[in-house]
Structure 1
């Protein structure tokens, strides 16, 4: 015999109705937690932007890299060497080689993100104006998060050509609103700063710019040119006093011996035709800007996807040359075919 069983009706809503005060949990969080949430949101929303030239057009892309953090590539390469099962001093690591030679420098993750956005694999949240959802949520949140929003109005540039385009007329209007400007230079970095550094610093010191900090992350193509970034004083002696307090320069050297050329040193001023030249003494260089020594690279890219862990030696004290060392290296091969810059 079959017994009819009543099928119970689906409940309209099994979820208890929240009380009004449950919607107000956010203001009860500690202020430092709320500020951290705002900061994480600005990063995800793409408020920090990269500027770069692509096919002669000025492009924009999200920045997801902490510009002041240690370079993850050296740590990654060290792990790759340790797990390779080889004792060779030069090893093929094409993926890390690509990252170490990236024109985006320490922002290689941002380059990968832009490629994914370009190929339709990711979405640039900034283009959807998602950051506006927080600013327009309510007056209380707007007033509290607005300061962190201004802090994250950051522009990052990682090559000299883009710098030339951006800082010479017509300049993008949003450049004047940026709170932070991050710059990374690797390719021909010494030559670029020698030719354009004075102009760049004077432009940034103009009153129209609201920038409170400029952080220059310096690199070069090889151990010799990396060493010359601190040995060639002309790269840093043209910074105006009005700009210096807001400027930080991050060098690829050790603090204990990387800045020996900033002490009182001798400089060879002219060649007398007999294999030598006159020398003069330079006073100690005391920078007004902030200096960061992130450490000498242990692993160096070579070519064809190969990376070397051969110790290139620490810089040694010597008589400096009055000429441009980057020009000497590029045109005459000094430092490679002789010991002029070793």
Structure 2
């Protein structure tokens, strides 16, 4: 086996093993221990984070931030990956901000010159536009880790009404229109709530025992398995423009149905506690929506419209 091939296979081997001895690698590759030591030195110089442990049970260990082995990409795959990462530059905060910038630089630097030229020509021809936000969300990586590891966090949170401390167990994080959100189980409210990540002022780990929320994720954050909720059935007819407006919304329910002519309807069970949200949303759609059910939602829409009218009417005349 040539030295270059042995170094490549050695890199993949140590990444898989995580912990190993020089003697083990020597037997596996059929070379002397001295040769393996020289190879490990080369891997270390290439950036593989190796840590040596002394003692009778010592050896080598690959640190958590280990280097992944090379992966062969086609030209089109490489360009697709580049622009997927390049599109993230619009976000003021990311859960892996430094890493994405570093990965993009490495990816671009090691591409052949002709592919780099092609990317340079495409940069001003294709983009994934996201509204640029000045506000930051510095705790995204902690929230994401808590969602994966099933941890409870104590956050200092500023809602529209007040600022308070909350103990939450995150389900995940997602971004919409340049803002980051964290759906989480809120211990104080015994309910799933969605928190704006930029409104979180501080985060520390809580000693509270976490719930088992592994069955919940961003695609399935239904409350039926957690707390009892009252539901009502929503039905609303939509014009073409109404359909387009609802297509941009991330809710799993109510479900959007589209006809061949472009019109459609919304149908599904919603929580009673969400009626006010949907009332304001449908008011924003104006004549592009006709809400038929439930009666509670119709009453809420009428009440909101009456309050809005009262705000702009003085003495029976428009201001």
TM-score normalised by length of structure 2: 0.23
TM-score normalised by length of structure 1: 0.22
The structure whose RCO (Cα within 8 Å, separation 6+) is larger is 1
